Amino acid sequence: MTTLHTGAEGPEPASRVSARGRGGSRFLRPKRKVPAAIAALVLFAAGLLIAVQTLSALFGHPARIVPYDRVADWARAATWQDNAVMASAGAVAIVGVLLILIGTVPGRPRLVALRSGDPDMIISTPRRMLARVLGTVAAQVDGVRRARARVRGRRVTVHAGTDLRDTAAVRERVRVAVEDELAKLAPVGRYTVKTKVRGAP
């Protein structure tokens, strides 16, 4: 379990506490580090190539890493109606839109934010750990032989097995137990619990 402190000095009103609680889940969303690093490397390589080409040409010894003459001849002869030009423009536009989406759309959080009594503290736990805790709670319900839980988004799905034929009562007890445990853990946001119980044949 991970605890993050923001380090404020005094208490805050309840309205600010609830707002910070809602922002906790957004704070824990993963950053787009890998796409940003790839884009930075590509831009750095392009800038370095342009710099080498330009400086070498200024000193009278063109590096000719890129066949500039052939590219220039093709650019002079090409028109906007050419399929190659339209395809290249479309590819650049698609890459640009993808980069904008990657930069603006947050990633899927791997941690679940939990409320705490301190408004300046964010407590988080991995989704797998939360699912393991809820699965353990479900397995301890009377009549349950085994159980496991899975957390996806705001939904908790519990699969349980029992030796009893009446699965309705067991399913209700499992749901209540898991919801009570969620209430104790107090995750940010509302989670729904779905239970599936398999009874004796």
Question: Is 26 within the bounds of a domain?
Answer: no
Note the pLDDT of residue 57: 77
Contact 155, 149 (CB under 8 A): no
How would DSSP label each residue in 146-186? EEEEEEETTEEEEEEEES-S-HHHHHHHHHHHHHHHHHHH-
Instruction: Establish if 98 belongs to a structural domain.
Output: yes
The verdict on residue 2 lying in a domain is no
pLDDT of residue 186: 87
Q: What is the DSSP string of the chain?
A: -EEEE----S---HHHHHHHHHHHHHHTSPP-HHHHHHHHHHHHHHHHHHHHHHHHHHTT----SS-HHHHHHHHHH--TTSHHHHHHHHHHHHHHHHHHHHHHSPPPPSEEEE--S-TTEEEEEEHHHHHHHHHHHHHTSTTEEEEEEEEETTEEEEEEEES-S-HHHHHHHHHHHHHHHHHHH-BSS--EEEEEEE---
Burial of residue 128, with CB atoms counted within 10 A of its CB: 0-12 exposed, 13-18 middle, 19 or more buried: exposed
Provide the number of structural domains found in the chain.
2
Q: Is residue 163 domain-resident?
A: yes
pLDDT at 10: 39
In a domain, 166, yes or no: yes
Residues 190 and 129 in one domain: yes
85 and 155 co-located in one domain: no
Query: What are the residue ranges in the chain where pLDDT is below 70?
Result: 1-31, 106-108
Residues 128, 171, single domain; the answer is yes
Domain assignment of residue 119, given as a range: 113-198
Residue 16 falls within a domain, yes or no?
no
38 and 100 housed in the same domain: yes
Token duo for residue 167: 């699965």
At residue 17, the pLDDT reads: 36
**In the listed set 82, 104, 126, which residue is the last one of a domain according to the structure?**
104
If asked whether residues 89 and 151 sit together in one domain, one would say no
**pLDDT for residue 26:** 58
Give the model's pLDDT for residue 11.
36
Q: Supply the pLDDT for residue 199.
A: 86
Q: Are residues 123 and 97 part of one domain?
A: no
Domain harbouring 169, CATH code: 3.30.70.1350
Query: How far is 107 from 105, CA to CA, in rounded Å?
Result: 7
